[in-house]
Structure 1
């Protein structure tokens, strides 16, 4: 980015030889760049360099295309973006499919090089270490290097571990992949160092801190203990992975999985023991349904106590007009002139429990006749359905919808002459407002969209932060480790803290039944937070979850006998409603799971540049 030009220029070592009679020309310094030496002799410039490394977070998960659309959470509405390359199992080294810059092999190593440059120069600072700035910047940089390596590890497995900046003129720039165990150990070491250096330091929001270092360690150790990274479990559950000749690159081939779960449990508990984090987790009974919805919205929007959930976040400032502030535009209803990009699928909707904690079931006549009532309060804070109250329509469209309700169904009315007339909702693909970019599924995302009516999503930016690391994730990591170690009561205690906050009754199961309740609870609570992509893989349940066809809902409102209306509105008094679940047209997306998708392929160009690399299994 242009504003970082003077910093990025210092990332690449270069030698320029100029011969001239005018020595003053040789000594001319560019006005918009600084030399590497100048950066590391000035404390402010050194801090600016480290600050730029945070740009590797990108927009967090708030891109137009969300990772959720590579899972059974949402489907991406617009074709030709590379998402179906992955969801349909066609990913290959020549065409990986859609990955953003926070996943890209090349971009992560560019950021790792920046970290290595910073660590090298901070090891022998040439400026006064006022206020222990060197220790702080070193701690931040170690956290960021660990973060970028953890990104590579959870998408690609074990990767080459480069802990220094390469210079020009080296004999060899190629490197072999380290094992999965070595990669995890390297990340953990960096995070332990970062925690030591950052402990006790007051950090600005959005910068690495002590809690973030402990939390990222807990996450990577949770991954390390999971079935996907245990060679025995991995081989038993996948033919493709079992035939891989280098299993150590993607899994632990020695040691006890139980021991790894013990380490993961201890790491997560270290975060839970920190004071000042978490929101409303001391309840002894469920709050009301309405309060549960409010609590979840506050946590998602990071306000009214929800900000205490954030251990590490990507923040956005309205004035900068970054894409991370455009979630309302990217995902909002087309009837509000938004783009309907990532829309919830019916499978996700069905996994929200009823208020009493029982499963929703289309075979239950009461559920099927009114599917959006008495559901988990988090449902109403996460998903917009037919009839959901939402922001006031634009002046041009308000006369069509004075109630400002989401309209994703179609209404069939018999006119005075006896002919049936169909009216399509304003937020359908047959909308009279915009008829090309509506939801295919009959739903829209509410979570992460600021409900403030003054924020007109079509042309206004919002300031909702992206939760890179959240306290509640640490509860799930701790509870999962407890379950895998047979400590069910402790797991239930912590899971019910989350449920009570949301207005849901306690979980009482044990054994595998508890494991399944835990997995669904995490699916609901962490919706859209880039957990499902990794969880379904590391639990090795992707064939039966991510491999399912995307689906949606067709809603028809039929005028009751003797009733007359003049305006489309969700209205049970005047209409009978029928709901039909259908699979998305395979021509739009034909999801198919392939076991090679447990990992992304290493790009062909990277393989050609570094012939020592071993490709991931199945590619």
Structure 2
């Protein structure tokens, strides 16, 4: 395979955009003329491969409108919901997730199977290519199976048990496939990854950057095992009684060995990534630059797998101007997770205080905060001396929130697109730390945690109490992975006791400015922390609902409470 998949990925995304298209890979397999043509040469097949990557890896990323681009952060209490006409508003404040309207999975449930079918069609037809070696065909098959595992890992986390497909379906197949038990979905993900990992390369030549590697497939497996080990699934008592269907939403018992399996899987990622894949935790001693590079610079050595998209709709959904324009601002509920640069906690006043105090406290925040946010009247720390990122370029409306999200644009200048980091090596370190703590291996937990914490320029964590260390590790997940599509489902799967009291539900607070009139680009006089709105939480939301249109077909069983 000699051509550049990166270029073909770009072409396929330009042609296909980010919405569901009627292209050749959505036609029935029985249309042999189409599949024979598509897979007649490696050049043509490579476009099909690129389309499979594009469809599989955009899971959870927005496609229906830029006002919904941060919906996971809106409804987790991390960012304000924007305006009353956004999706996030109703979910966050009044209705929660519903089967007939308000959703959180940006793809929509059905699109998962569009992506899965695309990957299977490539896997099933790649042997027709006449000018590709058997070894290269085997790698393509492994790539496609890993992409299927990725989509199932994401559905596993969001929905619990889902229908399992082992091939593409055509018009003669029975499409009435019921939900599989949660354990069967987990076992399938692990089996698919275990089959793909030995075949996949550790590295690709530079011209093929972005394709699946051993470490990326291991990361899929490790993430599935981590969520399986957490309390939401790792129990015999589900979050709501589902009767005979409990096995769709929990594993049936508490299995402590799942934590050890999660730790082992995370260590496998670290070992393969650092030994064979050329991946590293970027740590040059400059925390702002190191974290900014790890989260923002395309193809940097900390990213194991990314959604590579440089044109078309994505840049209108995820650039910083649209985040601000649609009112997505940092809440103080989430701000409290960030440390000061000296590793201590910051305090925010609950009574009217001079605005100069806000500026002083913001300047004292840790580097990761400064890489992710821009404060009122302070030019963006993540693009120093760049007028494009000055405070005067902020959205012009007054609003009450703590700061503006600018993550993924470290030293980006005028670049509007970015490569969403699906798996960073840092996640394997925090996964290992969390799992080691749960099995009582405190020394190992602290070692893995501090690789990430010290990179942030903070003093080492030394806490050895299991419960306290668990809270510290969860805080590290919040800070290290803001807006990387972890937090909403993390807090659900941890079953945190405060989930309805200041996380998803309960008082959502923010910094209010100028006698609560809202912050301004300049001339702010005072500020204070106060409740912005009451968040909605109901236990049914531990897992997402299946769309009512799918339930009406009579095959799928709805998750409890919807």
TM-score by length of 1: 0.76
**Aligned-pair distance for 1:485?**
0.6
**1:296: which partner in 2?**
291
**Aligned-pair distance for 1:61?**
4.0
**1:410: which partner in 2?**
none
Matched, 1:312 2:266: no
**Aligned-pair distance for 1:96?**
3.6
**1:197: which partner in 2?**
199
- Describe the shift of the 1:316–1:358 C-alpha distance in structure 2 as closer, same or farther (beyond 3 A): same
Matched, 1:445 2:437: no
- Describe the shift of the 1:465–1:14 C-alpha distance in structure 2 as closer, same or farther (beyond 3 A): closer
Matched, 1:597 2:555: no
Contact 1:548–1:592 under 8 Å retained in 2: yes
Q: 1:15, 1:134 → 2: CA distance? A: 22
**Aligned-pair distance for 1:6?**
10
Q: Which runs of 5+ in 1 are unaligned?
A: 17-32, 333-338, 394-401, 408-425, 429-433, 456-460, 558-566
Counterparts of 1:127-276 in structure 2, within 5 Å, are: 127-130=130-133, 132-170=135-173, 172-200=174-202, 202=204, 204-232=208-236, 234-235=237-238, 238=239, 241-242=240-241, 244-254=243-253, 256-274=254-272, 275=274, 276=278
Give the secondary-structure state (helix, strand or coil) at the position aligned to 2:45. Answer: helix
Q: 1:215, 1:15 → 2: CA distance? A: 35
Give the secondary-structure state (helix, strand or coil) at the position aligned to 1:384. Answer: strand
**Residues 363-395 of structure 1: CA deviation (Å, up to 9, x unaligned):** 7999977432422222222121123124999xx
**2:458: which partner in 1?**
504
**Aligned-pair distance for 1:199?**
3.3
Paired residue total: 519
**Aligned-pair distance for 1:607?**
1.2
Counterparts of 1:275-290 in structure 2, within 5 Å, are: 275=274, 276-280=278-282, 287=285
Q: 1:83, 1:593 → 2: CA distance? A: 13
- Describe the shift of the 1:449–1:78 C-alpha distance in structure 2 as closer, same or farther (beyond 3 A): farther
Contact 1:212–1:311 under 8 Å retained in 2: yes
Tell me how large the CA RMSD over aligned residues is. Answer: 3.3
- Describe the shift of the 1:82–1:364 C-alpha distance in structure 2 as closer, same or farther (beyond 3 A): closer
Match among 481, 505, 524 for residue 435 of structure 2: 481
Matched, 1:389 2:391: no
Contact 1:382–1:446 under 8 Å retained in 2: yes
**Aligned-pair distance for 1:498?**
1.2
**1:614: which partner in 2?**
557
**Residues 68-120 of structure 1: CA deviation (Å, up to 9, x unaligned):** 2221211231332322343234422222435312xx21100111122222222
Q: 1:99, 1:312 → 2: CA distance? A: 20
- Describe the shift of the 1:60–1:157 C-alpha distance in structure 2 as closer, same or farther (beyond 3 A): closer
Q: 2:241, 2:215 → 1: CA distance? A: 37
**Aligned-pair distance for 1:177?**
0.7
Q: 2:177, 2:388 → 1: CA distance? A: 62
**2:4: which partner in 1?**
none
Matched, 1:543 2:500: yes
**1:350: which partner in 2?**
336
TM-score by length of 2: 0.84
Q: 1:224, 1:113 → 2: CA distance? A: 25
Larger radius of gyration: 1
**1:378: which partner in 2?**
368
Give the secondary-structure state (helix, strand or coil) at the position aligned to 1:529. Answer: coil
Contact 1:158–1:179 under 8 Å retained in 2: yes
**1:42: which partner in 2?**
41
Q: 2:349, 2:401 → 1: CA distance? A: 20
**2:347: which partner in 1?**
361
Give the secondary-structure state (helix, strand or coil) at the position aligned to 2:144. Answer: helix
**2:120: which partner in 1?**
116
**2:15: which partner in 1?**
3
Q: 1:81, 1:556 → 2: CA distance? A: 26
**2:8: which partner in 1?**
none
- Describe the shift of the 1:368–1:15 C-alpha distance in structure 2 as closer, same or farther (beyond 3 A): same
**1:73: which partner in 2?**
78
- Describe the shift of the 1:392–1:212 C-alpha distance in structure 2 as closer, same or farther (beyond 3 A): closer
**Aligned-pair distance for 1:48?**
1.9
Counterparts of 1:41-120 in structure 2, within 5 Å, are: 41-56=40-55, 57-58=57-58, 61=61, 64=66, 65-66=69-70, 67-88=72-93, 89-101=95-107, 104-120=108-124
**Aligned-pair distance for 1:12?**
2.2
Contact 2:282–2:301 under 8 Å retained in 1: no
> Is the helix fraction higher in 1 or 2?
2
Contact 1:85–1:98 under 8 Å retained in 2: no
**Aligned-pair distance for 1:258?**
1.4
Q: 1:217, 1:14 → 2: CA distance? A: 29
Counterparts of 1:569-588 in structure 2, within 5 Å, are: 578-584=526-532, 586=533
Match among 495, 499, 511 for residue 553 of structure 1: 511
Q: Which runs of 5+ in 2 are unaligned?
A: 1-12
Contact 1:47–1:137 under 8 Å retained in 2: no
Matched, 1:518 2:473: yes
Give the secondary-structure state (helix, strand or coil) at the position aligned to 1:213. Answer: helix
User: Which stretch of structure 1 is more off in the superposition, 178-187 or 355-364?
Assistant: 355-364
Matched, 1:327 2:319: yes
Q: 1:501, 1:251 → 2: CA distance? A: 36
